[in-house]
Amino acid sequence: MAVVLNKEQIMEIIPHRDPFLLIDEVNELEVGKRVKATKYIKVEDFWFKGHFPNYPVTPGVLMVEMCAQAGAVALLSLPENKGKIGLFGGINNCKFRQQVVPGDKLDIEVEIIKVKGPIGVGKALASVNGKKAVSAEITFAIK
């Protein structure tokens, strides 16, 4: 899959930094509408030190954050949102369907389905090898 934005370019759009920048690349981008991004899950990722020793699994809440960061790239790429941040307003209909472990490539898709003023909603899906890992509807506020 082609890389549209690398990590450095992503950091020009969203304010997240290591260790909390949780997407590695953007593969497709329709500014303000939709995004496809990738997170390569590595054994050295910070959360595996304690979640769980001898049974490393990516926390579901961090996978939701990965989706939110991808969605933020789509929205904060709009010229009127340059330099702003996206904050969580809510998470609805979230489902975790499989464990995500070191060596997995998490493919993230977020479609912006509603925007009214600074508030919006994105429909997120993250998968590994075409199998759903997490899905959610994410409400956000642009500040």
Instruction: List, as own/partner pairs, every contact residues 81-89 make where C-beta atoms lie below 8 angstroms and the sequence separation is at least 24, other chains included.
Output: 81/142, 84/142, 84/143, 85/14, 85/15, 85/142, 85/143, 86/14, 86/140, 86/141, 86/142, 86/143, 87/140, 87/141, 87/142, 87/143, 88/138, 88/139, 88/140, 88/141, 89/119, 89/139, 89/140, 89/141
Q: Which of 143, 115, 14 is nearest to 67 (CA)?
A: 14
Token code pair at residue 17: 């930094």
16 is catalytic: no
Q: Looking at 51, 59, 84, 85, which residue is catalytic?
A: 51
Active site residues: 51
